[in-house]
Amino acid sequence: MEKDIKEYLDSTYLKTANEAEISEEENRKTLFSIVDEAISCNFKCIMIRPKYVAEVFKKINQTKTSTKVGTVVDFPFGDGSTLKKVNEAKDAIKNGAFDIDFVCDYNAFKRGYFQKFDTDIIEGTKVCIENKRLAKWIIETGALSKEEIMKITQRIVSLVQKYFFKNANDVFIKTSTGYYSGYGANISDIKLIKSCSANLKIKASGGISSFNFASDLIFAGADRIGTSKAKLIYNQQ
């Protein structure tokens, strides 16, 4: 591993109060305890729901941490319109988000609706590049066959290299939302994505809860680790 593990970690809390089966107030407390962890450990990014971005950005801005704020767009299904993706990204950027994790329309891709899929990728990435932000495209590996993982990666790479070649290092392929049938990151998917990701980066996410597993994913090709267990991973190094 070339860097300290904290440089790879996107500490993540995306649960709604309903999903966590707790009150809104309790969910908010949980979120901000994770934000405090990210600040104290100086993790790469804190990944949260859009509605918290402005407040968390303000809190982080009052500290000396280099931790960035990130959020999700068209989450968790990715089947919204291109305009929905673009507007959500613009709002998040305006509120202080640096990392924008879009869910790509993987079902459109699977059905061969490439005009919709391609337009989403181009327009979403464009918003990020124009605002000097990072774009990460969640392909939802659990919904795809191995062949589809390879082909969807190649398609995103082709679009980024065609339209944003000079900024390709600011675009990631991300494995999972963590919401698809409990399917998360694994070594074989990271190796497959790495084999055809060219100069795009890779974010592994979903079910990563140990330093050893995170290290194995990084060794396989991951540049970022998205996890709700960032502090645990950090403490195990």
Q: How far is it, in rounded angstroms, from Cα 206 to Cα 178?
A: 5
Q: How far is it, in rounded angstroms, from Cα 216 to Cα 49?
A: 28
Active-site residue, from 174, 201, 229, 231: 174
In 3D, which of 92, 106, 162, 96 has the Cα closest to residue 137?
A: 106
* 202 DSSP β-pair partners: 173
In the residue annotation, 191 being an active-site residue is answered as: no
pLDDT of residue 38: 98
In the residue annotation, 203 being an active-site residue is answered as: yes
Active-site residue, from 101, 105, 170, 223: 101
pLDDT digits 0-9 by tens, 210-221: 999 999 999 999
Residue 95 pLDDT grade (very low, low, confident, very high; cuts 50, 70, 90): very high
pLDDT of residue 2: 78
Domain boundaries, the chain: 6-236
pTM beyond cutoff 0.95:
yes
CB atoms within 10 A of CB 87: 14
Phi first, then psi, for residue 171 (nearest 5°) are -125, 135
Superfamily, domain 6-236: Aldolase class I (3.20.20.70)
In the residue annotation, 132 being an active-site residue is answered as: no
Active-site residue, from 203, 223, 229, 231: 203
Residue 190 has pLDDT above 90, yes or no: yes
